[in-house]
Amino acid sequence: MKKIIIVSTVFSLIFFSTTYSKNELYEKIDLFGEVLENIKKEYVDDIDQAEVMESAINGVLQSLDPYSAYMSPELFKEMQTDTRGEFGGLGIEIGMESGVVKVISPIDDTPAAKAGIKAGDYIVKIGKEQVQGKSLLEAVKLMRGPVGTSINLTVRRKNVKKPIEFTIIRRTIEVQSVSSKIIGDQKNLGYIRLKSFNENSDKQFLKSVKEFEKKPRIKGYVLDLRNNPGGLLTQAINITDFFLDDGEIVSTKGRKISETRKFFARRGDEVKGKPIVVLINNGSASASEIFAGALKDHKRAIILGENSYGKGSVQSIIPLTNGGGIRLTISKYYLPSGKSISEVGVTPDILVEAEGEDFQINSDKDNQLNYAIKLFNS
């Protein structure tokens, strides 16, 4: 009974709500303990009670939203790698949708992107393991492994009847978040591709902008956020600020006063009002949507491409006393217009869908980029 008492304490903290009176809450806790006792006594196979407890805790968190989850001490230690620009794996950002693992975005020039994984794919099998019923972080753990080893992924793709299988070699993923070049028939457009919002993105991005601004022929910018899964909120604010002279960039609203804030642009447009086209697609999420949405609301840029992913919430990693942790949604963010992009995304001003099986971002076959270039010539 000792374990049940401990879990009851955990669940009383999680479930404490004004929805229930204290008596009703205690009844629910007793009911939970009763269910556990029956599982222990009657279930057909022996069970690891500790694993059952962890699954129950994770179930609570995943019932809140697709982004909240529990991490065991082992998994928590493994997950201490994000946002620094280097980690091991396949190179995809994933989320949960209706209990299924969904690809938010493959990261450019990574094994997953090169193999052909696309934003919006549903991962149904990792190796021989069915993904249905597993938590997001359990799926991440299955996909990670020693560099140089292979893994088989089976995915379901929209408008494709049969499942698609991929064999991918794990690599050390080094994300160079910013790349740039001069494009256009007249070689007069600055193209900046932003692949993620990690801790150094703003410095890399500003460096590219300043290099372009030294060239007198540059008359506009194409900013490419396709397949950018997001990252740090502070980076999204800093980079958006480069192109706005004033006004709100984003606001966040949470239960705590400290999580309810508004962020404003400081005076100074780094490109002095030059026209901007921002490219987005279904793999543009979170911080990418803040950037695109703010520039759209301020009519500072034309947004071109496909509807973005629709992740409008902020998560915090909270360590636990057992050495594990929880990833918990602590606030939602809102665009300057007051709209939330949760589950809706940012709608482009000009809808241009990717065309052709051989479509590749930033290539001759990139019809979205080609359309953006033509806008400057019209």
Give the pLDDT confidence of 72-110 residue by residue, as tens digits: 888 787 666 544 555 568 988 888 887 788 998 888 888
**pLDDT-derived band at 12, boundaries 50, 70, 90:** very low
CATH code, 76-81+86-174: 2.30.42.10
- pLDDT at residue 81, as a whole number: 53
Q: Mean pLDDT across the chain, nearest whole number?
A: 87
Catalytic residue list contains 297: yes
Catalytic residue list contains 311: yes
Would you report the helix, strand and coil content of the chain in percent, each value rounded to 5?
Answer: 30, 25, 40
261 close to 300: Cβ distance less than 8 angstroms: no
Number of Cβ within 10 Å of residue 79's Cβ equals 18
Better pLDDT: 176 or 162: 162
On the CB side of 340, CA atoms within 13 Å amount to 11
Which of 224, 241, 297, 366 is an active site residue?
297
**pLDDT-derived band at 52, boundaries 50, 70, 90:** confident
Spell out the alpha helix ranges (H) of the chain: 2-15, 22-42, 49-64, 73-78, 111-115, 136-143, 201-213, 233-241, 287-297, 367-377
Which of 311, 313, 331, 366 is an active site residue?
311
Whole-prediction pTM value? 0.79
Task: Choose the most confident range, by mean pLDDT, from 64-73, 81-90, 122-131.
Answer: 122-131
CA dihedral 277, 201, 344, 307 (to 10 degrees): 40
Residue 353 has pLDDT above 90, yes or no: yes
Q: What is the mean pLDDT of residues 319-344?
A: 92
Residue 13 has pLDDT above 50, yes or no: no
Rounded CA gap, 9 and 295, in Å? 46
- pLDDT at residue 191, as a whole number: 97
Rounded CA gap, 283 and 286, in Å? 10
- pLDDT at residue 86, as a whole number: 54
- pLDDT at residue 192, as a whole number: 97
Exposed e or buried b for every residue in 164-201, given b needs 16+ CB within 10 A? eebebebbebebebbbbeebbeeebbbbbbbbbbbeeb
Provide the residue type at 15 as one letter.
F
CA angle 347, 199, 197 (to 5 degrees): 15
251 close to 261: Cβ distance less than 8 angstroms: yes
**pLDDT-derived band at 268, boundaries 50, 70, 90:** very high
Task: Choose the most confident range, by mean pLDDT, from 101-110, 301-310, 320-329.
Answer: 301-310
Share of the chain above pLDDT 70, in %: 92
Task: Choose the most confident range, by mean pLDDT, from 11-20, 56-65, 126-135, 326-335.
Answer: 326-335
Q: Where are the domains of the chain?
A: 2-68, 76-81+86-174, 178-377
Q: What secondary structure does DSSP assign to 221-271, as a single string? A: EEEE-TT---B-HHHHHHHHHTT-SSSEEEEEEESSGGG-EEEEPPS--TT
- pLDDT at residue 6, as a whole number: 30
Q: What is the mean pLDDT of residues 19-48?
A: 83
Phi, psi of 146, rounded to the nearest 5 degrees: -60, 140
Q: What is the mean pLDDT of residues 155-167?
A: 93
**pLDDT-derived band at 314, boundaries 50, 70, 90:** confident
Residue 16 has pLDDT above 50, yes or no: no
Chain center to CA of 156: 20
Rounded CA gap, 187 and 182, in Å? 6
199 close to 83: Cβ distance less than 8 angstroms: yes
Q: Please give the CATH superfamily to which domain 178-377 belongs.
A: 2-enoyl-CoA Hydratase; Chain A, domain 1 (3.90.226.10)
76-81+86-174 and 178-377 have identical folds: no
Which of 72, 196, 286, 331 is an active site residue?
286
Task: Choose the most confident range, by mean pLDDT, from 3-7, 141-145, 279-283.
Answer: 279-283
Coil, helix or strand for 41? Answer: helix
C-alpha Rg value of the chain to the nearest Å: 23
